[in-house]
Amino acid sequence: MVKLYIVRHAESQWNPVGRYQGLLDPELSPRGLEQAKKLAEHFKEVELQVVYSSPLKRTMQTALELARPRGLQVVEEGRVIEIDHGLWSGLLVEEVQSRFPEQFRQWMEEPHRVKFEGGESLARVYERVEDFLREVKEKHWGQTVAVVSHTVPIRAMYCALLKVDLSKFWSFGCDNASYSLVHMEKDRNVIIRLNITSHLGDLYVEAHKAL
């Protein structure tokens, strides 16, 4: 079995205002930095053998808090980077709703059909995270692994782990500095914990429903 902790990065500078980040690279907000520390404190008794992270700043800053106390190096992993939002990148949710109303509706109601103009499709994200998960299971059997990623690839991971259609993408909560625990067994994957945020206390902020 592989014990896989799936972690969403702590709050970035753009999360509170509802701005699409995609491959753009804001750092953690002051509250996000505190959330990352709370997360690391909560994980202090967990024996991790490896910490993977998307290469963007908001994920790397979060992952470093988990890795440092253990003397681990964060392994940068491009397959778990955020979806490329294309023309939406850098825009507020309200701006996207105004400028791309039909695609925004599709993103909220039929995400499995979306390919962002100038960017990436959700199906492509699914392919790359599925490939990453397959490799984790092969390389780290018997180990405990953490991966720090973003809301879109994390939800795609849940779909891949459970072999459910991407139309179920929005069925999984994914708050900043949350974690989930998956037991990757020989013939199945079991979600033991999902979107845990109790460690954040008054630092908790509910994720924007469209991000």
Catalytic site residue 42? Answer: no
pLDDT by position in tens, the chain (length 211): 999 999 999 999 999 999 999 999 999 999 999 999 999 999 999 999 999 999 999 999 999 999 999 999 999 999 999 999 999 999 999 999 999 999 999 999 999 999 999 999 999 999 999 999 999 999 999 999 999 999 999 999 999 999 999 999 999 999 999 999 999 999 999 999 999 999 999 999 999 999 9
CB atoms within 10 A of CB 44: 9
- Locus of tokens 């994390």: 154
Confirm whether 99 is domain-assigned. yes
Q: In what order do the strands lie in the sheet with 50-53?
A: 74-76, 50-53, 144-149, 2-8, 179-184, 189-196
Answer yes or no: pTM beyond 0.95.
Answer: yes
Q: Where are the alpha helices (DSSP H) in 43-121?
A: 57-67, 93-99, 101-109
Catalytic site residue 9? Answer: yes
Question: Looking at residue 59, which CATH number applies to its domain?
Answer: 3.40.50.1240
Domain that holds residue 145: 2-202
Confirm whether 17 is domain-assigned. yes
Q: Identify the active-site residue in 150, 183, 199, 208.
A: 150
CA distance 20 to 89: 5
